[in-house]
Amino acid sequence: MPPNQPSSVPDFLYGTAWKEDRTTALTELALQAGFRGIDTANQRKHYLEAGVGEALAAAYRAGVLTRADLFLQTKFTYRDGQDHRLPYDPTASLSAQVAQSMAGSLEHLGTDHVDSFVLHGPSSGHSWSNADSECWEAMAKERDAGRARLLGVSNVSLRHVEQMASIHVEAPAFVQNRCYARLGWDRGVRAFCRDRNIIYQGFSLLTANVEVLRHPLVAGLAARMNATPAQIVFAFARAVGMLPLTGTSNAEHMKQDLASLNLALPPEAVQAIESLAG
């Protein structure tokens, strides 16, 4: 059975990838804007996790929030997804690499636990492998030791999650995928998650769907509802059961993204956006 979803999972996550030396300032800005969910990874190639930790420490000092107010999500990334700045010994076993990665994340983030620990993509694009099962078991040990509350997987196909279910490994609490409208908004994986009480996290909802932001349907809805096209996309995502991520570096967009939580699309609009790309 999938784990029960806690009430402390926020309605929006702020993604910290690809920000480099702006990571600390932008994460601080996001926290000040009201984000209470932060997504990062111990993958120096695309993230500066230590910079996220600096932002958290500054926000705690300033009284913006406490650790208890915050949902922190990090990831274990295989060697193939890393550059030369590895967070673990590449000659160690996968289980040891998972433990070393987690230890590094906790140090970076200045905490004794994360709320979500995500496998940052399976080892093969084709199927769930023995390596994935080994990592998943090691991640569960981190969770059982109290260093993570929930587990997730990212960048998976429907085949991956179906295979996880078929071999009876523990179901993830989260699936996080890049979500393309032209591929049906990842409908198959979303349906799998919905049927199993798994929270689907959608990322690149704007950058992967520039054509949707410009579509007359979305533009018309935005005009009628006094909203931005981005707000319409985020409201749609929530309406179909996604937990959206945003990685905006614009302070005004941060506020607008959070304000989309108060935007309720009519059912016919949700269905029309769902059907935009088949």
Domains of the chain, with CATH numbers?
13-178 (3.20.20.100), 204-278 (no CATH)
pLDDT at 107 over 80: yes
Structure tokens at 174: 């989260």
CA dist., res. 68 & res. 115, Å (int): 10
For the chain, give the mean pLDDT: 96
pLDDT at 6 over 90: no
Q: Give the pLDDT of residue 7.
A: 52
pTM of the predicted structure, to 2 decimals: 0.96
pLDDT at 2 over 70: no
Quick one: which of 257, 277, 247 has its CA closest to 187? 277
pLDDT at 85 over 90: yes
